[in-house]
Amino acid sequence: MKKTYLIFALLLGICLTSLGQNLNSYKYVVVPDRFDFLKEPNQYQMNELAKFLFEKYGFTAFMASESKPSDLSMDSCNVLYADVIEDSGLFQTKLQVLLKDCRNQVVFTSEEGKSKEKDFKQAYQEALRNAFNYVEAINYKYDGNSAKVKEEVPETQIRNIPGPAKEIKQEGKVEEVIVSAIPKKIQKETKVLERVSNKRSYFSGELEVYLLQTEYGFQLVQKEMEEPFGKLVKTGSANHFIYSTLQNTGIAFFDESGNLNVEILTENGNTTSTKIYKLKN
């Protein structure tokens, strides 16, 4: 039992560590003055609280309306843009923290922070603090060296991404650029994800579910139901996700056949169980 728990903890730790390493190359976080689910700027002090929590967990954060350092203004791609989204139900307030890069791509999505408080301010603030537990788990620490490597990628490497051929007019000598092959492991993971990139049907026993792609990963929706019952949240590994439902949390991945394999941590916290959603052919 201890062995299975350690394996699960190791997998989760690897996902969070990999994700943290990806975020360490970003120097700043910008928090908006108002979140979309609220009516007023900094309503319930939510935006100031988000900034405070980012700073508490090692980030250098600014409000969108604040004056900012010159290197942030000159290079908007060394900054992450924070957002908080709401998915509350009738009896529970649920919030998630998102981080986007300068291309508006989501690079981090927290698990849901939840609260059963009835007072709006208390509920929102408690849910936000709980969502930030997953930000804390990343163990963020700015690494200027990794940021420098990212900035110093040779221009020829950036321009030679496989894609449709285009006619390019050049003056002077044209240098031959050799592009190295894409590693087999990446090709393999990419092919697996391509199989599930659109709406696909899966079976777990007699239960049929759909996987709907979202900006943070996938939603799991039971057939003939409108509301999702679970989520797959992206991690730093291309083919590994954090699996989350109201009842369970775990680590998920797609195998070579496109089936969804989930390692679920049981309620006693000592063992894991495996659940497989088989891809409908």
Please tell me the distance from the alpha carbon of residue 189 to that of residue 100, in angstroms, as a whole number.
23
Nearest residue to 242 via CA among 272, 266, 218, 270? 218
CATH number at residue 64: 3.30.160
129 with 190, same domain: the answer is no
CB 27 within 8 A of CB 142: yes
> What amino acid is encoded at 204 in this protein?
S
Give residue 219's domain range. 184-279
Q: Is the pLDDT of residue 278 over 60?
A: yes
Give domain status of residue 222, yes or no.
yes
| d(C-alpha 195, C-alpha 197), whole Å | 6
Sign of CA dihedral 181, 184, 185, 188: positive
104 is written with which tokens?
């508006």
Asked if 195 and 137 sit in the same domain, the reply is: no
Last residue of a domain, one of 114, 142, 170: 142
Neighbours of 61 (CB within 10 A): 20
249-254/106-109 β-pairing? unpaired
Angle at 277 between CA 220 and CA 275, to 5 degrees: 105
109 with 46, same domain: the answer is yes
35 neighbors 47 (Cβ within 8 angstroms): yes
Looking at residue 20, its pLDDT comes to: 45
Is residue 21, in this structure, part of any structural domain at all? no
- Measured between alpha carbons, how far is 89 from 94 in angstroms, rounded to an integer? 8
For CA atoms 134, 135, 141, 147, the dihedral sign is positive
Residues 199 and 267 in one domain: yes
Could you read off the pLDDT of 33-90 as tens digits, one per residue?
999 999 999 999 999 999 999 999 999 999 999 888 887 765 578 899 999 999 887 7
The verdict on residue 252 lying in a domain is yes
Q: Is it the case that residue 222 has pLDDT exceeding 60?
A: yes
Band (pLDDT 50/70/90 cuts) for residue 177 is very low
Distance of CA 169 to the CA centre of its chain: 39
Q: Of 113, 142, 171, which residue constitutes the final position of a domain?
A: 142
Whether 132 and 84 have beta carbons less than 8 Å apart is answered as: no
The closest alpha carbon to 88, from 55, 131, 59, belongs to 131
Mean pLDDT (the chain) is 76
Based on the fold, state whether residues 137 and 220 are members of the same structural domain: no
The one-letter code for the residue type at 176 is E
% of the chain beyond a pLDDT of 90: 29
**Which residue has better confidence, 196 or 88?**
88
pLDDT at 267 over 70: no
Measured CA to CA, the distance from residue 62 to residue 28 in angstroms comes to 8
13: in domain: no
Q: What is the pLDDT of residue 270?
A: 59
Q: Pick from 109, 142, 175: which residue ends a domain?
A: 142
The total number of structural domains in the chain stands at: 2
Residue 41 falls inside a structural domain: yes
| Amino acid identity, position 196 | V
Q: Residue 134 falls within a domain, yes or no? A: yes
Whether residue 37 contacts residue 120, with contact meaning beta carbons closer than 8 Å, is answered with no
Helix, coil or strand: residue 105? coil
Lowest mean pLDDT among 22-26, 70-74, 137-141: 70-74
4 within domain boundaries: no
The per-residue pLDDT for range 227-259, each reduced to its tens digit, is 888 888 887 667 788 888 877 778 888 888 889
- 31 and 120 together in one domain: yes
CA distances from 257 to 70, 194, 217, 229 (A): 49, 12, 19, 24
Predicted pLDDT of residue 153? 44
116 found inside a domain: yes
